Amino acid sequence: MTNNEKQILEQVKQGLQPPTKAEIDDVTARWLYGKQAGKMMKYAPWSFVLMKLMWKKGEEPWQR
């Protein structure tokens, strides 16, 4: 890697604002649980057991 490339890369690195863990958890919870996301995260990990109740009849993977 040339010195010029190193400098460019250093500038790139300085300019990056990667997502925080809190951001990742937040968007993932909303993707997974829709409007229930806030509750699911607030009461995690116990809330994950409630997943079983969120499936409607006939959808449940364990019925396969």
Partner 1 sequence: MAEMTRYERLLAAWNLEEADRVPCAPIMCYFIPYHAGLSVKDIFTEPDKVAQALIDNQEFIGDNTHPIITTLDHMSMLGRAGWDQTTLNWKIWDEFPPQGNIPSIFEKMIIEDYDDVMERGFSTLLFNQGLDNDIFDRSPEDFLYYHFEYPQVWSNALRRFYNETGIPYLMGARVCHPLDLLQYYRGINGLVMDMFEQPDKVKAMCDRLYEYEAVCAMQRAMVIGAGEVPGADVIFLYNGGPPGLSPELYDQFYYPYAKKMIDIFVKRGFRVQNHWDNDQTPYLESIRHLTDGLPKGKILMDFEKTDMKKAKEILGDRMAITGNVPSALLVYGSVGEVEDYCKQLIEDCGEGGGFILGVECETPWDSKPENVKAMVKSVEKFGQY
Sign of the alpha-carbon dihedral angle for 29, 35, 36, 41: positive
Report CA-CA distances (Å) from 23 to 31, 45, 60, 62: 12, 18, 30, 32
By CB under 8 A, residue 59 contacts partner 1 = yes
Binding-site string for partner 1 from residue 4 to residue 43, where x marks contact by CB under 8 A and - marks none: xx--xx--xx-xxxxx---xx--xx-xxxxxxxx------
Q: Can you give the binding site for partner 1, defined by CB under 8 A?
A: 1-2, 4-5, 8-9, 12-13, 15-19, 23-24, 27-28, 30-37, 51, 54-56, 59, 61, 63-64
